[in-house]
Structure 1
Amino acid sequence: MSRLGLCVSGVYAMFLLWAIAQERLSVPFQSVDGQSTHKFKSALFIGTCQSFLSSLSALCYIRIRGKSGSSLFSLLGLDVPSSFPKTNGSSKANGSSNTKVFINGHAQSSKPQSQIALPSDASSYRKRLLRGYLQCSTFITLAAPFGFAALSYITYPTMVLGKSCKLVPVMLMNVLLYRRKFAPHKYLVVAMVTAGISVFMFFGNEKPSKATFNGDSQSPYGQLIGIAYLLINLILDGATNSTQDEIFSKHKVSGQQMMFWINAFCTVLSTALGTLPLPYIPVIHPSSGAQSEFANALAFVKSHPSIVMPLVQFSLTGALGQLFIFETLQHFGSLTLVTITLTRKMFTMILSVVVYNHKLTLGQWLGAAIVFAGISVEAFVKRKDVHAKRVLQEKEKAKIKSL
């Protein structure tokens, strides 16, 4: 529980600061001439800054915590598990499931060979692993611009609460992509979260940030566009989390190794999209005239220097926060991670209301209460399950002693 407590504290501290910076980046900045304000539109540039710092922080963590004398392949999680014999999958490994083995510098419990899909050779193992990382990175690179674009049409508290529906796509993608099943109470949690979001949206009357200067956001269809962007963001997030679970189940890698590779690939993908003179693509590449998006982004930073501080805060806190995110993901799974981030979003929404003076109606507070009541059900059941497992473990220990 001490590890879980550290993960929760780290996620809360880093991502509350991250959220403040994110909302600040979504509204216009004053130009150096002091007479005009413009909105920063390059989500790819923001994402590149964060993913680069995230991969760098993960690499530093791996180097500091890694076993001395380990090869670079081992440190980065590309070694084929040497504790298991290479086989065509028809034979079974000898040994108890309680035996501890070391893989990529981390203690792991060995499992019967029939439960572990081993590659035929080192090359195919690495290709499969890197392909999984690239898949996650593609989802993340595409998801971020949709989340950023949604803020032009919906308020930040609405987006925060909408992101609380992440349990829905995570479960949906786990079922559709990997045929996983979940306990009945999780479907109740999803229903409560969805109902709460619906109530919150129905009673909302505040416009998006007062200074967006986006005419479309004031149209009758503006909020529907924002919700559509948010739904795309959530579906891609769900695909990311379910793929990460699949990687952890099939490959013995640490959370920080995954963090390094995913963010390294994200940096490459977003840099390629940002530097190529692509034509105008809604959301993904908003620069017009077949111009490089990064060139426009750097020109904006030069003419609007006040963006530098929130950009640094967003990138740095996001990078450090991901260390705790992937530690949680490795040891506790994506649904536990989602539960932690959902409770963090409750405080994020309250902090946003206080810092940026958002006005929520009584109906919206009711919707938020329903959402977080659903989250509380998930937390209560999980705590009950952990307690039951501990009692069972104590009974097993007592039996062993009596023998």
Structure 2
Amino acid sequence: MSFIRLIFCVAGVYSMFLWWAIAQERLSVPFQSIDGESSAKFRSALFLGTCQSFLSSLSALIYILIRKKPSETLIQALGFHDKNSGEPTSASTANGKAHTHTHHTNGSAKPRPDTRFSSKALLLSYAQCATFITFAAPFGFAALSYISYPAMVLGKSCKLVPVMIMNVLLYRRRFAPHKYLVVFMVTTGITIFMGFGSDSQKHGGKKAVSASMDHGSMPYASLIGASYLLINLALDGAINSTQDEIFSRYKISGQQMMLWINLMCTCISFVLMVLPLPSIPVLLPSGNGRSELVAALTFVQQHPGIISPLIEFSVTGALGQLFIFETLQHFGSLTLVTITLTRKMFTMLLSVVVYNHQLTPGQWLGATVVFAGISVEAFVKRNDVHAKRVLQEKEKAKLKSL
């Protein structure tokens, strides 16, 4: 059963996110108007994010309700403390030590709520992640107007760098020495990849050139794209470090986090789209007194070719997240890292094949260095997990002998 579940998870992650990557790249090219006389690019990344986050929250809710235990209340299933259950949701209970505070009235001890692990604090942490995600996505989408999708995939593969930096800056965490080696290899590989691509190759073949003709000919286009990508990665680092902090403090599941963060992302981005705000580069490019939502819906109406990739992008992104959290829950981070590493490699190769991107030998070298660095991380994690299991087995053998 465990092997079948693993095959199911791997197949789900691969199929959903490979399909999602192709849909995302299709959304970055110009679409023909309904009259066939003109073409234009869709620039509302907030609209794309809202569609995906709404479906992600909906799929997470359905998953939670299906997997809900009969003994659980709805509040508990959604990841919050039910006052009538007397079970805190903080990480302290996960370690077997529930730190509760009591006060005595007429000789009887009554529990006093622990405000440090309150539902309000948990919601605020979710809101922090949702805000970072809402602002990170537009920068990632805007970067595709200046750099090729393979460069984008490779850049996203170095997420370990901002995650480490944000963990150190925000939460004062320390890391093992090998992680700094991984950071160095990944950074070096990205530098090689970006440095060895010519201006024409950075946008690949004919399709990519036509897709980026509005920005690809600009001076310093790759520098602008790399800057947008760096902002996206920095926000991603803040997101991942905050999620690590939430998991370390609260007893919640991945699907519960997925539900609330995506629900808040939907609310934040929807409010930003509805308000008639002025034009803001990257975030609200269609402003100037009219709402981003009206501009996005008008574009969809005038360019119906976007509907199919938009649906594919939203649905596959939502279902892909479920497979990610299912893998994490049942097989741990080591298996998930291995799956996502190989998935990114196939995503880049699939993009090269489907959209005829041309990579130089130097760019292939840079990609190899990046994936070698990530492989070092996966290899060390595997050895650590194996060593811990061996130690646990020895301790169990000693207990049995006693």
* TM-score (normalizing by structure 2): 0.88
Letter in 2 for 1:111: G
Q: CA deviation at 1:122?
A: 7.1
C-alpha contact (below 8 Å) 1:22/1:314 kept by paired residues: yes
Letter in 1 for 2:195: F
| SS state at 1:217 partner | coil
Q: CA deviation at 1:70?
A: 3.1
For 2:98 and 2:71, the matched residues in 1 are separated by 29
**Are residue 153 (structure 1) and residue 146 (structure 2) matched?**
yes
| SS state at 2:359 partner | coil
> Quick one: structure 1 residues 252 and 66, their matched pair in 2 at CA, closer, same or farther if it must change by over 3 Å?
same
C-alpha contact (below 8 Å) 2:209/2:216 kept by paired residues: no
Structure 1 residue ranges without an equivalent (≥5) = 87-102
**Are residue 32 (structure 1) and residue 34 (structure 2) matched?**
yes
> Quick one: structure 1 residues 115 and 29, their matched pair in 2 at CA, closer, same or farther if it must change by over 3 Å?
farther
Q: CA deviation at 1:399?
A: 1.5
Partner of 2:131: 138
For 1:163 and 1:18, the matched residues in 2 are separated by 15
C-alpha contact (below 8 Å) 2:100/2:114 kept by paired residues: no
**Are residue 181 (structure 1) and residue 180 (structure 2) matched?**
no
Which deviates more from structure 2 when the two are superposed, residues 384-393 or residues 353-362? 384-393
**Are residue 373 (structure 1) and residue 369 (structure 2) matched?**
no
C-alpha contact (below 8 Å) 1:339/1:375 kept by paired residues: no
Letter in 1 for 2:368: A
For 2:192 and 2:173, the matched residues in 1 are separated by 30
For 1:297 and 1:361, the matched residues in 2 are separated by 37
Deviations, residues 63-85 of structure 1 (Å, cap 9, x unaligned): 00011253321111111598878
Letter in 2 for 1:157: P
Q: CA deviation at 1:394?
A: 1.9
Q: CA deviation at 1:164?
A: 1.0
> Quick one: structure 1 residues 247 and 72, their matched pair in 2 at CA, closer, same or farther if it must change by over 3 Å?
same
C-alpha contact (below 8 Å) 2:143/2:229 kept by paired residues: yes
Q: CA deviation at 1:289?
A: 2.2
Alpha-carbon RMSD across the aligned residues, in angstroms, is 2.8
Q: CA deviation at 1:217?
A: 3.0
| SS state at 1:312 partner | helix
> Quick one: structure 1 residues 262 and 217, their matched pair in 2 at CA, closer, same or farther if it must change by over 3 Å?
same
For 1:26 and 1:364, the matched residues in 2 are separated by 22
C-alpha contact (below 8 Å) 1:50/1:316 kept by paired residues: yes
| SS state at 1:27 partner | coil
| SS state at 2:17 partner | helix
Question: 1:349-388 maps to which residues of 2 (within 5 A)?
Answer: 349-388=348-387
> Quick one: structure 1 residues 339 and 280, their matched pair in 2 at CA, closer, same or farther if it must change by over 3 Å?
farther
For 1:45 and 1:140, the matched residues in 2 are separated by 13
Partner of 1:222: 221
Q: CA deviation at 1:207?
A: 3.9
| SS state at 1:349 partner | helix
C-alpha contact (below 8 Å) 1:245/1:333 kept by paired residues: no
> Quick one: structure 1 residues 336 and 266, their matched pair in 2 at CA, closer, same or farther if it must change by over 3 Å?
farther
Q: CA deviation at 1:302?
A: 1.2
Partner of 1:165: 158
Q: CA deviation at 1:125?
A: 0.6
Percent identity of equivalent pairs: 68
* TM-score (normalizing by structure 1): 0.88
Residue correspondences, number? 384
For 2:366 and 2:63, the matched residues in 1 are separated by 40
> Quick one: structure 1 residues 331 and 138, their matched pair in 2 at CA, closer, same or farther if it must change by over 3 Å?
farther
For 2:385 and 2:334, the matched residues in 1 are separated by 15
For 1:224 and 1:172, the matched residues in 2 are separated by 22
| SS state at 2:276 partner | coil
C-alpha contact (below 8 Å) 2:26/2:309 kept by paired residues: yes
Partner of 2:106: none
**Are residue 66 (structure 1) and residue 68 (structure 2) matched?**
yes
C-alpha contact (below 8 Å) 1:167/1:338 kept by paired residues: no
Q: CA deviation at 1:331?
A: 6.9
Partner of 2:96: 111
Which deviates more from structure 2 when the two are superposed, residues 170-179 or residues 333-342? 333-342
Q: CA deviation at 1:13?
A: 2.2
- 12, 21, 24: which one aligns with 1:22: 24
Letter in 2 for 1:272: V
C-alpha contact (below 8 Å) 1:4/1:328 kept by paired residues: yes
For 2:84 and 2:352, the matched residues in 1 are separated by 53
For 2:82 and 2:332, the matched residues in 1 are separated by 23
Question: 1:284-303 maps to which residues of 2 (within 5 A)?
Answer: 284-303=283-302
For 2:218 and 2:327, the matched residues in 1 are separated by 41
Letter in 1 for 2:150: P
For 1:363 and 1:123, the matched residues in 2 are separated by 51
Partner of 1:99: none
For 2:331 and 2:166, the matched residues in 1 are separated by 18
> Quick one: structure 1 residues 235 and 149, their matched pair in 2 at CA, closer, same or farther if it must change by over 3 Å?
same
Deviations, residues 177-209 of structure 1 (Å, cap 9, x unaligned): 111111111111111111111111111121432
Which deviates more from structure 2 when the two are superposed, residues 203-212 or residues 330-339? 330-339
For 1:192 and 1:132, the matched residues in 2 are separated by 32
Which deviates more from structure 2 when the two are superposed, residues 254-263 or residues 326-335? 326-335
Which deviates more from structure 2 when the two are superposed, residues 125-134 or residues 317-326? 317-326
| SS state at 1:218 partner | coil
Letter in 2 for 1:374: G
Deviations, residues 161-183 of structure 1 (Å, cap 9, x unaligned): 01111000111111111111111
| SS state at 2:216 partner | helix
C-alpha contact (below 8 Å) 1:80/1:122 kept by paired residues: no
> Quick one: structure 1 residues 329 and 163, their matched pair in 2 at CA, closer, same or farther if it must change by over 3 Å?
same
> Quick one: structure 1 residues 119 and 268, their matched pair in 2 at CA, closer, same or farther if it must change by over 3 Å?
farther
For 1:242 and 1:119, the matched residues in 2 are separated by 30
Letter in 1 for 2:96: K
> Quick one: structure 1 residues 386 and 4, their matched pair in 2 at CA, closer, same or farther if it must change by over 3 Å?
farther
| SS state at 1:111 partner | coil
Question: 1:38-117 maps to which residues of 2 (within 5 A)?
Answer: 38-68=40-70, 70-79=72-81, 109-113=94-98
